[in-house]
Structure 1
């Protein structure tokens, strides 16, 4: 049996085609989406969880070395791993928010897969993270359907997060491929996420059109300009209809991080000065909330950085503000701050003002944010998306008949207006912001695995 699998930065979902209809498969009760989050007692727990609880073994020497190291470290800690020690989705988020200091928590591992310069053990760890999440979703889907799933089409962005270009993309796909194989999928294909979303929209067309698909997800934004319509529905060879693709590692997470940095970090000392008159170093305020940047997070949460934060606090003109960064470090609270920014973004989608609440354990901060302030904070990110749209049209040398926008972040009225500003005379339509990619992947799986 084949499914479409949207392994998203923000959420994951799966679907199948039954007859002519796409059916999204419930994963948690009646819920169709599961947030792309995971938590465990320790970082090392993930590898041992796969081996002991899911009977999933590594495929590479570095994976074997990682597993041996994980078992040794957990044994030294006296940790006896149980299947329910590793949680996913909202369960993982709730458990982390309840006790962030003593939980290993990961959001959006997809954001890390294209990072270059990583050691083999780090790559194996990312593979284990993805495998654990894929295995969890596969098991849930099989339970809902009461049958095994062996074939899948997995969505991929045009460009993964990373500075290595095609090398970053190649690395990410290899990690995803091995993780899916270990999770139990026997046959795996990949499809660009904007193309998948377009395939779902194509099913509604009664005439052929040049469609610009703009997919704004949690970690990436992608555009594909595609010839679509009844002439091509159901065909497995579509290369001549794919006119151009553009993509960049910019999306909803970047909106959240920008809001946190530009609206929240002044309460932590951003823009303030030391007693000497020198400004406080900006990387301290950025690294703590850059949850999609492996190196930034590593730098912030080292013991050496904690010592530097203590030194900065002692020499600060506003030590009470810098002291909050120490609470962030000790409580591993960066994700909590970005989560507050995400709630702010969502609330300001339909109201003019919002009071964000940030729980630092030692105190609770309330920060007022207006719609205009949010618009200013995310302006640079929106400009990057606008450039992707213009580049896709320029590369194709074709004017689209219609723009189809999808992805969770495409709900933002700011994003929709930005696209309208640069394409004022072209119709903009939308479908299921969260489900179009999944549905299109299911349609493509039905075509690939007939």
Structure 2
């Protein structure tokens, strides 16, 4: 059986074709979307989970040799945690978030691994690790989908952004796609195809068009923003090769996660001592605060938890004029609560899309700590990111050499009125703006394409 698989930065979803129409598959009860998170009591459990489901004896031996040290650690970990199977100690989606927030200093938590797949300079050990993490998440979704469909899934179209990273894009894209393909093969997908996510979102929209249109698809996802100018409609929809309909394309690693991080850095971190005056007259160093909130940057997280940062913060406690604020920051670092702070920023971002003000409940740091932010403050904090998205839209339009008839906006972050206002500023009121299923249109479009490729 074939499916479309949106392995997203923020959420994952899968679709299949029923009665000629793409349908999202319920994965957790009636919920078709799974947050892209994983929590394991031991990091080594992830490797054993993958090893346990391999059926080909040659693959099994090869994998066991490459992961021998991890598999040995996993056996010891099962004894320590009194588990019969490692899957009892691995959690996905909302369950992973809940386990992490309840005990951030224990276990291993990863959010949005897709953000890291194209990172420059990854050593083979890191590549192997991300293959395992991605495979474990894919396996969870594949098993749940097969249970719902009562069928084996062997063929898949997986969505991918135009560029996983802005730097060394060609190498980055090749590395990330290789990791996704290896993970997919490892969990039992025998035939794997890839499709740009904004095109997938557009294909879902195209099924509803009754006349030909030039459509600008603006897909603002969790980790990337992609813009595609595409010819769509009845004359184009049945073509398997759409290269000639593809007029312009841009993409960069700017997404919902970046809006969360900017909000956390600029609105929340001043309540933790960022920008506090020092007795020396020198400015408070910014990097510890920037690194703390940059949860999608491996290097930043490594530096934040490095001993050198601890020594720096200890010195700053003697130099700051606002000790109580810096002590909050140190408490957050010691408790590994930075992911939870960014999570509250994300929830606040969502709230500010429909309300004028929001308070961020940070009582896990301090009982009465609840900084407040207005929608205007959020817009100001997001201004630099919005300028980058505007540049992507303008470049895609310039490449196409033509203005769109319709702007189709999709992706979870595109729900923000800031994105709609930005498009209005660029094109005025004469061009229609159509909202897709902000979370499901990519998955649905991948299902449409899977039918054309495999059906």
Question: In the TM superposition, what is the alpha-carbon distance from 1:360 to its structure 2 partner?
Answer: 3.7
Distance in 2, matches of 1:53 and 1:306, equals 41
Structure 1 position 346 matched with structure 2 position 341: no
Distance in 2, matches of 1:57 and 1:8, equals 31
1:224–1:392: 8 Å Cα contact kept in structure 2? Answer: yes
Q: Name the structure 1 match of 2:117.
A: 113
Distance in 1, matches of 2:155 and 2:166, equals 28
Q: Name the structure 2 match of 1:369.
A: 373
Distance of aligned partners of 1:408 and 1:346 in 2 relative to their CA distance in 1, 3 Å threshold? same
Distance in 2, matches of 1:262 and 1:384, equals 18
For residues 336-357 of structure 1, what are the alpha-carbon distances to aligned partners after superposition, in whole Å with 9 as ceiling and x for unaligned? 0111111111111111111111
Distance in 1, matches of 2:294 and 2:227, equals 25
Q: Which moved more, 1:107-116 or 1:276-285?
A: 276-285
Q: 1:315 aligns with which of 308, 312, 319?
A: 319
Distance of aligned partners of 1:60 and 1:49 in 2 relative to their CA distance in 1, 3 Å threshold? closer
For residues 208-234 of structure 1, what are the alpha-carbon distances to aligned partners after superposition, in whole Å with 9 as ceiling and x for unaligned? 111110000011000010010001112
TM-score, reference length from structure 2:
0.94
Question: In the TM superposition, what is the alpha-carbon distance from 1:303 to its structure 2 partner?
Answer: 3.2
Structure 1 position 288 matched with structure 2 position 292: yes
1:63–1:125: 8 Å Cα contact kept in structure 2? Answer: no
For residues 135-173 of structure 1, what are the alpha-carbon distances to aligned partners after superposition, in whole Å with 9 as ceiling and x for unaligned? 110000000001100000000000003522111011000
For the residue of structure 2 that corresponds to 1:126, the secondary structure is helix
Distance in 2, matches of 1:106 and 1:59, equals 26
Distance in 1, matches of 2:11 and 2:367, equals 30
For residues 277-311 of structure 1, what are the alpha-carbon distances to aligned partners after superposition, in whole Å with 9 as ceiling and x for unaligned? 22121110011110111110111122332233222
Query: Which residues of structure 2 form unaligned runs of 5+?
Result: none
Question: In the TM superposition, what is the alpha-carbon distance from 1:19 to its structure 2 partner?
Answer: 2.6
For residues 240-281 of structure 1, what are the alpha-carbon distances to aligned partners after superposition, in whole Å with 9 as ceiling and x for unaligned? 011111000001111110110000000111111332222121
Question: In the TM superposition, what is the alpha-carbon distance from 1:313 to its structure 2 partner?
Answer: 2.0
Structure 1 position 209 matched with structure 2 position 225: no
Q: 1:395 aligns with which of 379, 396, 399?
A: 399
Q: 1:179 aligns with which of 146, 158, 183?
A: 183
Distance in 2, matches of 1:193 and 1:129, equals 21
RMSD of aligned C-alpha atoms?
A: 2.0
For residues 350-392 of structure 1, what are the alpha-carbon distances to aligned partners after superposition, in whole Å with 9 as ceiling and x for unaligned? 1111111124445452001011101101111111111110000
Question: In the TM superposition, what is the alpha-carbon distance from 1:3 to its structure 2 partner?
Answer: 0.3
Distance of aligned partners of 1:269 and 1:246 in 2 relative to their CA distance in 1, 3 Å threshold? same
TM-score, reference length from structure 1:
0.95
For residues 37-86 of structure 1, what are the alpha-carbon distances to aligned partners after superposition, in whole Å with 9 as ceiling and x for unaligned? 11011333322232246779996999667622323444566545531210
Q: Which moved more, 1:196-205 or 1:39-48?
A: 39-48
For the residue of structure 1 that corresponds to 2:360, the secondary structure is strand
Q: Which moved more, 1:365-374 or 1:274-283?
A: 274-283
For the residue of structure 2 that corresponds to 1:141, the secondary structure is helix
Q: Which moved more, 1:14-23 or 1:252-261?
A: 14-23
Structure 1 position 33 matched with structure 2 position 37: no
Q: Name the structure 1 match of 2:159.
A: 155
For the residue of structure 2 that corresponds to 1:372, the secondary structure is helix
Q: Name the structure 2 match of 1:379.
A: 383
Query: Which residues of structure 1 form unaligned runs of 5+?
Result: none
Question: In the TM superposition, what is the alpha-carbon distance from 1:235 to its structure 2 partner?
Answer: 1.9
Alignment of structure 1 residues 137-156 onto 2, 5 Å: 137-156=141-160
Alignment of structure 1 residues 190-209 onto 2, 5 Å: 190-209=194-213
2:64–2:71: 8 Å Cα contact kept in structure 1? Answer: no
Distance in 2, matches of 1:69 and 1:162, equals 34
Distance in 2, matches of 1:143 and 1:349, equals 36
Q: Name the structure 2 match of 1:298.
A: 302
